[in-house]
Amino acid sequence: MTAAPRAMHAVRCIWPAEAQLGEGTLWSVREQALYWVDILGKRLHRCRADGSERASWSFDEEISALAERASGPGLIVTLRRGFARFDPARGTPPAYLHQPAQEPGANRFNDGKCDARGRFWGGTMDFDCVAPTGAFYMYESSDRCARHELGFAVTNGPAWSLDGRTMFINDTVNGSVFAWDFDADRGALSNRRLWLRYSPDDGLPDGMTLDAQGRLWIAHWGGRCVTAHDVSDATELQRVELPVSQVTNVAFGGPDLRTLFISSARVGLTPAQLEAEPLAGGLFALDMPTPGLPAALFG
């Protein structure tokens, strides 16, 4: 098999933040800035495309994913127990909008993003990454939030094909990416199928995003890379190697959406591993020949 091509340009660390669990990368076209989170550090970060003009906000609980609002200022975010509103400009504590009653006590929210219709899909996971209690919620408003059972210990994603007919969600602990037929009108999932299973040497599938050519980019937790795949058959098309092992999330951004931003983590690494990976928990950037897509807005 021919090896997938490597990225032509060097990956650079634009913010050596030492995040415990960097995640939630989101490029704001409106602000021309990148938002990302440290879930276990309970912090939200923002910076320019080059890593300058940094700002951070601290929270009383984990913050894991976010989306910009289509109308009105601020963000929709997932905190440990559900969906909340937060306005970085005001900096006041976030206000919960909806907390699903069905979630087991050991669960917390993890990755998520909006679909093209402006609905926020937020996944949950077992805090210890063991019990298969993770689900996905499609949140529209406090009285319109649908639960989709998954049975994953850790959920990551989601992402959608360019035509909007396929939705991808990662079963991270089992090293698998699943695909569903997606009914955009109803927000319904059907025809679940295994789409890609990682080899042991490739780590585990974490956050992901699509580029303008329709390729699916996936972060490799424990695999030191991100890879691009053909959505029709999961063929690996490109691989970007990083100087850190726990690669967590990816998002396209920058003025022309040609910068790939990559978050990472340092949680669980031994002192020897941290010495070998001084940039673990940092935010990375890579110039790409193909642009990404603007993030969908909530509402």
Active site residues: 206
Coil/strand/helix, residue 125? strand
Q: Which helix (H) or strand (E) holds 271?
A: helix 271-276
Q: Quick check: 74 and 89 in contact, CB under 8 A?
A: yes
H, E, C per residue of 27-40: EECCCCEEEEEECC
173-193 core/surface letters (b: 16 or more CB in 10 A; e: else): bbbbbbbbebeeeebebeeee
Who's near 66: CB < 8 A, 6+ residues apart? 24, 26, 35, 37, 44, 75, 76, 77, 78, 86
Query: In degrees, to the nearest 5, what angle opens at C-alpha 32 toward C-alphas 248 and 111?
Result: 25
Q: CA 151, 153, 159, 163: dihedral to nearest 10 degrees? A: -20
64-77 core/surface letters (b: 16 or more CB in 10 A; e: else): bbbbbbeeeebbbb
